[in-house]
Amino acid sequence: MAFLDIRDLHLAMRTFEGEAHVLNGINLSVERGEIWGLVGETGCGKSLTGLSISRLVPSPPGRYLRGEIRFAGQDLLATPEDGMRRLRGGHIGMIFQDPTTNLNPAFRIGEQMVDVALHADAVDPAILGLAPGASRRQRRVEARRLAIAMLDKVGVPDAARRIDDYPHQFSGGMRQRVLIAMALIGKPELLIADEPTTALDVSVQAQILRLIHSLVLEYQLAVLLITHNLGVVAQLCTHVAVMYAGNIIESGPVRPVFRNPTHPYTRALMKAVPHATHRRGELQGLPGSVPNLFTPPPGCRLAPRCPVAQPRCAERVPPTIAVSPGHDVACVLATPAGSAAA
């Protein structure tokens, strides 16, 4: 079993209009050292997938219909809140999109980091490495030392001094570094990064990507990188999963998927990104818009917009087929690996 294993995850959200099936049978396996890019357009369910792993989807209105999430063998959907809390921070770290709103503005960053470190230490005393009888004060001092070290590691200059600054005194990129430091202070094995660079300038984005990459190498992290930017995925990720309307429609190692996108949606997505070779007017967008999740189309959810749709697409959810080892596609047109290749 994989380190993180999501099997047939179904999530519904209740709203005024009715119950939306926002996740519709997600399957995903992530191992340590792998960086998975979870890509898709707005509303496809990629963030909810990330939040589901940390069990941070509010419920109600959220409701898990089916499926399981196993983290290091533990079934997360069956874990009580208290158990989840021990996993968060200590074993699963998370960072979010907007570094300006994700740091509590009323507290010095050190204060927040120390609390996270103390929490992680309560789960795993090895974090601070203090004897069980250590006083509160000792723990705080040690936690602060760890926080400074962590800030230093993520590239915050002059960390020992800046730990006593407030979030608004940092630039956007630095705040994201602080958040990363905070997420990693508990030495998690899995890092879920939800659009960590979307709000940043490209130059800063490159630095953050480099930082994440180095941290993965150092800690053997498993990373789930949620993004809509194919470029970021191509650069940083080892694997990619493309989502559309609550489904993963294509997944696998980055190179085969990007070189040989098989699902019509993946292909459309690739073609929509302006590229040096594109001539003006040649970009191809996908016509139509994302289906209504209250009454999704019965078969393949892409069928109504799919340029190569066939009548049977509307009838039945296409099965997931491995077109090459590890490269899975959920499209009736895909041909399984080993059969007569195109």
Partner 1 sequence: MILRIENLTKTFRSRGRRWLGPQTSFTALNDVSLSIGKGESFGLVGESGSGKTTLTRCILGLERITSGRIVFDGTDLTTLPAAEMRRMRARIQIVFQDPYASLNPRMLVHDIIAEPMEIHQDTLGLGARQRSDRVIELLELVGLGAQHLYRYPHEFSGGQRQRIGIARALAVNPEFLILDEPTSALDVSVQAQVLNLLHDLQQKLGLTYLFISHDLGVIRYICDRIALIYRGDIVEEGGVDDIFERPSSDYARMLLAAMPEPDPAKSPFNTEAAG
Partner 2 sequence: MLRFAVRRIVLLVPVIVGLSLLIFAIARLLPGDPVTLAAGPNATQAEIADLAREFGLDQPLPVQYWHYATGLVTGDWGQSIFTRRPVLEDLKAYLPATLELVVVAMVLAIVIGIPAGLLAAVYRDRWPDYVSRVVSLGAISMPRFFLGLLLQLGLAMWLGWLPLGGRFPLTEDPPPFVTGFLTIDSLWAGDPHAFGVALAYLALPAFATCLSPLATITRMMRATTLEVLQQDYVLTERALGLSQRLIIFKYVLKNAMSSTLTVIGLYFGWLLGGTVLVETVFDWPGIGLYATKAIVTQDFMPVMGVTLTIGVLFVAVNLVVDLLYGLLNPKVRYE
Pick one of partner 2, partner 1, none as the site partner of residue 186 (Cβ within 5 to 8 A by kind). Answer: partner 2
Pick one of partner 1, partner 2, none as the site partner of residue 129 (Cβ within 5 to 8 A by kind). Answer: none
Q: Least CB distance from residue 329 to partner 1, whole Å?
A: 18
84: tokens are: 């989840």
Q: Least CB distance from residue 79 to partner 2, whole Å?
A: 13
Check binding of 177 to partner 2 (CB under 8 A).
no
Check binding of 229 to partner 1 (CB under 8 A).
yes
Considering only residues 182, 233, 286, 321, which one is a binding residue for partner 2 as defined by CB under 8 A?
Answer: 182
Check binding of 168 to partner 2 (CB under 8 A).
yes
**Helix (H/G/I), strand (E/B), else coil: 114:** helix
Check binding of 20 to partner 2 (CB under 8 A).
no
Closest to partner 2 by CB, 58 vs 133, is 58
Per-residue contact flags (x/-) with partner 2 for residues 49 to 78, judged by CB under 8 A: -----x-x----------------------
Considering only residues 37, 62, 67, 89, which one is a binding residue for partner 2 as defined by CB under 8 A?
Answer: 89
Residues 246-265, interacting with partner 2 (CB under 8 A) = none
Q: How far apart are CA 85 and CA 99, in angstroms?
A: 22
Q: Least CB distance from residue 168 to partner 2, whole Å?
A: 5
Closest to partner 2 by CB, 167 vs 252, is 167
Q: How far apart are CA 159 and CA 151, in angstroms?
A: 6
* Stretch near partner 1 under the rule CB under 8 A, chosen from 21-29, 56-64, 280-288, 307-315: 280-288
Considering only residues 49, 112, 176, 205, which one is a binding residue for partner 2 as defined by CB under 8 A?
Answer: 112
Check binding of 181 to partner 1 (CB under 8 A).
no
Q: Where are the alpha helices (DSSP H) in the chain?
A: 46-53, 81-87, 109-123, 136-153, 159-162, 172-184, 202-219, 230-236, 254-259, 264-272
SS (H, E, C) 54-102: CCCCCCCCEEEEEEEEEECCEEHHHCCHHHHHHHECCCEEEECCCCCCC
Rg (CA), the chain: 21
Bridge partners (DSSP) of residue 92 are: 88, 190
Residues 6+ apart with CB under 8 A from 251: 28, 239, 240, 241, 242, 257, 327, 328
Pair 123, 89: CB distance under 8 Å: yes
Return left, alpha or beta for 181; rule: phi > 0 is left, psi -120 to 50 is alpha, else beta. alpha
Pair 225, 233: CB distance under 8 Å: yes
**Helix (H/G/I), strand (E/B), else coil: 339:** coil
Check binding of 105 to partner 2 (CB under 8 A).
yes
Which residues in this chain contact partner 1 in the complex, by CB under 8 A?
Answer: 33-35, 41-42, 172, 201-203, 205-206, 209-210, 213, 216-217, 228-239, 253-255, 258-259, 268-276, 278, 280-281, 283-287, 289-290
